[in-house]
Each structure stands twice: as C-alpha cells, then as structure tokens.
Structure 1
C-alpha cells in the first residue's frame, strides 16, 4: 500500500496545495545551516537547473507520501546512494565532510516537515495537538528512508521546538546562505518558457512581482529567530500579516482548483494512491 494511507495525518496535511509555499519556506530555513547549505552549493545543480531540481525534489516527496512501498524504497535507495558519494568542504574551517552526515540529514528533515506542517496550520488547516504530534511521528518513517535512526529524530511538536532551540547557536548567514536566499527570491525564468518577449515579461512583469509576494510570504513564515538571522523583523505583526497573506493564497488556490476539470484537481500520485485505496 505505502508508508501512509487515507487515515494518516500525513495525507490530511499533504492534500493542501499551499504546501508548495511550505517547501519554499523550508529551503530558506535549511540554508541557515552552514554545512547543509555548503553541501547543497557544492554538489547540487540548483543554480544551473533550479526548476529541474525543484521538480525532482517534489517528485521524491510525492513518492514518499503517496507511492507504493516498492516505489518508495526504490526512490529512497537512489537518494541514499547519491548522497553516499557526495562530499563538501566547510568554507569556515576547510574541513571535508560527507553530506549524508546524520546531523545534516536531521536538519534538512526537521526543517522540511516542520515547514510543511506549520504552513498548513497557519493557512487554516484544522489540526488537533494530537494530530500535530501524529504527523511528526509518522514522518519518522521518511527520516529513516534517508538513513537516519528514527530514535534520534524529533517526533513531537515539543521535541521539534527543543531541537530548534539547541540548533540556533550553530546557525547563521554565510555567503552560501545569502546567495541561496537571493537565488530563491529572484530565480531565473526557465529558458523553455516560450519566446524572449515572454521571458522578459515574466522577468519584469506581473508574474515576477507575484512571485516576489510569494517569496516574501515564505520568508515571513519563518520563525522569528530565523527572520532575524536574515536581517528581518521578529515582530508578532509580521506573523499576523504572513498568516493573512497565507490564508488568502489558500482561498485563491481552492477557488482556482474548484474551477478546473475534476481530473486536474488532484496530483497524479495522489490520484493513483486514492485509486489503490478505492476512494475515487
């Protein structure tokens, strides 16, 4: 069947299209770890092919959430093999390290799942405290797939909060972090998006400004301590404005999906999983 199912909190959370914004938030958060962002900068093709990398990452997450057990294990084994061959150099110390070090994998995992969950809740998804803890506990399976010992990974909201408290002294803005954040905020327009005139319009026109708004909301959704590291404000009013923007985006996406033909309202992976569960 797969790692999760229709009764899981994971399916309830990941049904939300607004999680695309949660994924962007997680990238800003992950970039604050000096070694994690160095590993990405020195091994990833995100600068030369950012949209391709984003698509591959989205496909992996979708497979873990909705794929069959065989599909999940195949995708995870590929990721583990890929990571096992990669190393990077810490720009602060010159030390060479493997990018599949547990400390780095743990940071990426926690930043991702916490971003998904917090974005969904702040957008208006109703979850009880038990469901919140249930989501983190369910996601320990995803952590194990990349090679982590589940017993070393935060599995409740309280454990995630304590983990962030412990990690903050190790985090900060490096050159890689600043360049990554700028790249996430002003990404290049894909070359296959039509003519030069169209690309210029996307670069300078309403679409670009709309994306600035999305990226700005993603940054505003960061914890106050993370926003301060980026030079932003930690004021509660920032949280309030981000929540209002996020809820507006969720309503817009819901209306947009409702107006589309039914076959386009669910992602193909989710639709296949619903078919297997007999829920279509």
Structure 2
C-alpha cells in the first residue's frame, strides 16, 4: 500500500506528518499509559530469546489495528459469564479506571507476544499473583475466583475468538486456515502459563470450547451495565466520540447473533454488512496509519504497488 503523503506537496506532507504524529501519540498514550515508552523499550529493545518468532501468527494478529475492534468485542463477550462478570465488577475498576485496565491488558499482550521471555514470565507472574486476591460471591450467591481454571479458560477462549474474528474481518493480512490454527496454538502457550487447563490448539477446538460454555452464559444486569458503559458512556472527550462510536459499532457487528438479546445489543444485518463494515475498515485503517512508522517514499513509477 502506498503512503499517499509521498505524492503530495511538501507543505501538505508536513501537515499530514504532524497530524499523524499527534494523533498517533494520543492513541499510544491511551493504550500504553504514562509508562508506555519505558515498557516499549523493555519489550522491543531488550535482547534475549522470545516465546514467538517474528513470523509467528500471534504476532500477525496482535500487532494489527484490528485488535482495537477485537478487544472491545472480547469485553462484551466475556461479560456474559456471570461469575467472570462478578469478578470484573467487583475488582477490576473498569468504571473508575477503564484506561488503567486497558493499559495493563495491552502491556500483557505486548510482553507475551513480542517481549523477551524473561519479561513475559515476569508479567505472567504478576497477573497470577493479582488473580489470587480476586474472589468473592456473585449476585446469584455463587462463589467465584479469578484463579478458577474454568473461568480462566472462558476468559481466554472469548478473548482469542474475538481477536481472531476481528482480524479475519479487519486485519491488513488475514490468515489462511493453517495460519488461523497456528494463531490459536500460539495463544495456547500463553494460556498454559496463566494456568488455563487444556486451552484450544486449533480453530475447531476453539469453536467447540466456546459452544460448551453456552449453557453457563447469561445477560445479567451487571453484564448489560458493562455493555452500556463500554458502548454508550466511555470516558472520552467529545472529539473522540465519533471515531469511538465507529469502533464500537464494528465490535458489536462481530458479536454472535445469540449474544444480542442478552446484552440488549442491536441487530441490524443490512447496516452491519454495509455501513458498519465500511466504517470498521475505515477506522482500523486510520489507526493503522497513525500508529505505524512512515515508510520511505516509493519511486514515482508505477503509481501503485503492494
């Protein structure tokens, strides 16, 4: 894909570069937080063996802007398990500190996917310690614990299904069938380190495990409250509401039909196949542009090249 700014007059190119830098920095700050630069250096700049090679499927998926859509879908899908939602509502601070939760999650994904093994292991150990303190009683009277292997696996499969579904639809380089299986197998390595028993190793196993959880899922008041907050009440300035709304619509458009009624989500199949899908491609392309490093200017001929 050609960087069109290379074809424009210098003054316009300079303004585009400044805009790209400003917006890209704002997105990075939201996702990575105040410690983002230091964490990026620890992940990308540190030497040492990694869990995954450069060409690994997990790096293709987790390094793409479609993760913004997939991440929001994952939160919506995960909320349908009453015990998992009780833990989130009672301990995660998603209302009081939603950006902090996003930043912690993004760091976990970056460290385990791209970071040196030592950093990945340190982050995993931190998460497992934090999980040991997350326990209580759900509104329906059942006890829950974030260290419960069954709940850990639900969170994992809902997350991986969401990331892969979003990448299939909006990723810059969608995976073939073998690549999709490889992605699920790569994420199983991380899941086992977190304490997930028997994580799926292929897309067929992923679909089967998701289906097995269906009888346990429900649209509780807590889940619907979380959905309203994520979709309609995000703590954002007015200038960011429109692009976030497009992102939210794209995420809802990828939710399975059976989730819509429990979470009170709209189901507009014609709009989702046209307007919402076009908006999803536009917003992910925009995020990809502002967060990527500009490439060297291509030669003047041919006018378009891969």
Q: Same fold (TM over 0.5)?
A: yes
Partner of 1:161: 207
- Secondary structure of the residue aligned to 2:136 is strand
Q: Which moved more, 1:246-255 or 1:4-13?
A: 246-255
Instruction: Name the residue aligned to 2:109.
Output: 61
Establish whether residue 118 from structure 1 lines up as the match of residue 165 from structure 2: yes
Structure 2 gap segments, 5+ residues each: 1-48, 296-306
Give ranges in structure 1 of 5+ residues lacking alignment.
190-201, 263-280
Give me the whole-angstrom Cα distance separating, in 1, the residues matched to 2:211 and 2:286: 35
Query: What's the TM-score once normalised by structure 1's chain length?
Result: 0.81
Cα-to-partner distance string for 1:82-134 (whole Å, 9 max, x where unaligned): 10122121211x13232211111001111111111110110143211011011
Cα RMSD between the aligned structures?
1.9
Q: Deviations over 1:204-233 (max 9, x none)?
A: x34223322221221111122222322345
Partner of 1:41 in structure 2?
Answer: 89
Whole-angstrom CA distance in 2 between matches of 1:163 and 1:244: 31
Assess if the C-alpha contact under 8 Å between 2:136 and 2:143 holds in 1.
yes
Distance 1:100 1:256, change over 3 A: same
Listed as ranges, the matches of 1:142-153 within 5 Å are 142-149=190-197, 152-153=198-199
Report the counterpart of residue 265 of structure 1 in structure 2.
none
Aligned counterparts of 1:160 and 1:16: Cα–Cα separation in 2:
21
Q: Does 1:171 align with 2:205?
A: no
3-state secondary structure, aligned to 1:188: coil
> Helix, strand or coil: the match of 2:50?
coil
Task: Give the one of 221, 234, 237 matched to 2:270.
Answer: 237
For residue 33 of structure 2, what is the aligned residue in structure 1?
A: none
1:30 aligns with 2:78: yes
Match of 1:195 in 2: none
Q: Which entry has the higher C-alpha Rg, 1 or 2?
A: 2
Q: Is the 8 A contact 2:62 2:109 kept in 1?
A: no
Alignment match, 2:284: 250
Contact 1:220/1:227 (<8 A) preserved: no
Note the C-alpha offset of 1:236. Answer: 4.7
Aligned to 1:213: 246
Q: Does 1:4 align with 2:81?
A: no
Measure the CA separation in 2 of the matches of 1:4 and 1:238.
39
